[in-house]
Structure 1
Amino acid sequence: MDSLTQVAPRIWQLPFPVGHVHAIALPDNGYAIVDTAVPGSAPAILDALARLGARPHDLRQIVLTHSHIDHMGSAADLVEATGARVLAGAAGAPVIRGAAPEPQPVHGPAERDLHEQITADFAAAGLPPLRHVGVDVELRDGDTLDGWAEPVRVLHVPGHTPGGSALHLPGSKVLFPGDIIGHMGGRAVLGPFNVDRDGAIASFRRLAALDDVDTVCVPHGEPIITGARDVLASATPEEDWR
């Protein structure tokens, strides 16, 4: 993992080769993280938090935007190390717990090649097996997270998975879109590997239409911190991954 990058007041990106993690400083001197990268990433995440001055028990919340391995992969290890609570979308919680199978995406030709490459990279890296984890709080559209320095609005954004969640912080104008939005070559793009492409495009458009967004903390690609409104407005998710 590379060095920490501060993307907004109280928010840092912990970049990983696949699936970035974001750390958020809470007003009680604790921290929350959004997503947990692939299995085996917990030591790097705890090391990054230590560089921010946090001890393991200072991690209060783990918010999982959805159930894919590069987002929930290290959640179980982090819960064991820290005692943090896990928050995730209600529709995806059974998958995260291991009570339901992961819905399979529908791949277009461009996505199929990319998926095969990523799968090969995971195999070559020798990742530990995925461990499921309990969900302490099931999130629904319109919920507000407790314990943060400002109101955090939960948005249900299905399409990539049935249970995807995004977080919008209108006060600081920050958006955590999960895999609905990626950032490639200066463009906001629809995330690949969707179970429902039309639903994912509708979720993308919902997020792109939000007021009060200056910073988009994408899990894949560089954060959008300059001209985010224009970048989102000019996106063409309908044309991505054709």
Structure 2
Amino acid sequence: MTTAGRRPHSGRTYAFSLRRLSLCFGLIALVLLAAGTALKAGVRAADDHPVAAVALGLLALAAAVLVRRRRVRVTRTAALGPSAPGDVLTPDAIVPAAPVEELLEVEEPLEVEEPLEVEEPLEEVGFEAMSAEEFEQAVADLCRRDGCRAAEVVGGAGDLGADVLAVTQDGQRLVIQCKRYDAAHKVGSQDLQRFGGTCFAVHDAHIAAVVTTSEFTEPALEYAAQCGILCLDGQALATWASTGSAPWTE
């Protein structure tokens, strides 16, 4: 496998050459001689034809000014970004930056999400009559009502046991699994074990809870007590919805 890195130094060295040094000095001398000859010729021409010399000087000065202006224009164009073909940069086209005070002004105050206001008691809605999705949304609404921040429904395929994720008022991460079962279908220990294997290790829960419209089996409650998982059956859910007291604070 080829890896990128620095190219190894070839180790080649260059020996001192008197011939090359002499050649360089000879070229320098020729350039200086040619420049001196041209300067003398220019002085003589100026003495013989002063008007022509002044005209050539003015042309040279004008050429220098044009070159200078073009450099300034290219620099400004590069600083302001590309423009359309044929556009000419003028002072009026340069828009001054807005003052810092204007940039920091906020036209409207930022809206802060308020806890959900429930118009009617949630225990009267009938959790058993809801679909699984509606039940998960109702649990998320209860969390927001009791002051949770960013409560959202995340249940679905690949949710790894988490149906509702929220953050409590004191900053703890709340992970809830919702089980909308009928009265004859209890939540068993296998359900709790699957949730217990992901709520802390995968979802980093500070508080893990299972909420159901039914009941829990005794083995399920024993496993939840060992793992520190909060269990809310149908009766506890109705109490939560009616009293408005968050069960994780009790």
- TM-score category by the smaller chain? under 0.3
Answer 1 or 2: which has greater helix percent.
2
Which has more radius of gyration?
A: 2
Higher relative contact order (CA 8 A, sep 6+): 1
User: TM-score when scaled to structure 1?
Assistant: 0.26
User: TM-score when scaled to structure 2?
Assistant: 0.26
Answer 1 or 2: which has greater strand percent.
1
